[in-house]
Amino acid sequence: MNRQDHVVACPATAEAFARFGTVYDLSGGSDPKVVWTLGNGWQDGFTQKPLIGGSGHLGLTRGGAAPWRCTEMERHPGTEEAIFCADAPVVLAVAPASAMPAPHRDEIEAFVISPGQAVVMDRGVWHDACRGLTRPTPYFWMAICGLGASPWVPVEGGALLVCADANQVTRA
């Protein structure tokens, strides 16, 4: 398979994800966007600023497992959306925010979000529902709800296989 047939997820780092939003690492104790505290037998971290603008709603989605065919995406022009793991890594497929009526498959990238990370997509970023890295996996999301419809739109150019690693390309 060639690139236009599939995309392989890379780790969600601040640098890799920058054109889609922000990554917070609450697991390592070194992210400068996180306030760290220590206590007797515990360590705590919280984001320096609110995770999203406004009073967000908390949701839980139960996703299948990678690989999958990304056939449609949604976007939220009125709110950021934060994604964070419930118990295991998930894969997020995204395409850049645009004025176009649909995302294009050649612009889709995929990222592995690990426990302890929070990924905040900018307003208008196209995205699919996350899938588990190795198994069906639930994940939490936070966004402002009730701002209008966020229809799922077919990906222009057709479906794209989203893989957690290069081995899945040959098995799919």
Tokens of 168: 């899945």
Contact 83, 163 (CB under 8 A): no
What is the pTM (predicted TM-score) of this model?
Answer: 0.93
pLDDT of residue 1: 42
pLDDT attached to residue 106: 95
Domain count, the chain: 1
Helices and strands, counts by H and E, the chain: 2, 17
pLDDT at position 169 is 75
- Contact residues for 51 (Cβ-Cβ < 8 A; gap 6+): 24, 82, 118, 120, 142
Residue 7's CATH number: 2.60.120.480
- What's at 53, amino acid-wise? G
Residue 83 has a pLDDT of 98
Alpha-carbon dihedral sign for residues 29, 45, 24, 139: positive
Return left, alpha or beta for 17; rule: phi > 0 is left, psi -120 to 50 is alpha, else beta: alpha
Q: What is the mean pLDDT of each run of 10 residues along the chain (172 residues)?
A: 78 97 90 92 92 95 96 97 94 96 97 97 98 96 93 96 86 55
Q: Are the C-beta atoms of 123 and 80 separated by less than 8 Å? A: yes
- Domain enclosing residue 33, as ranges: 3-171
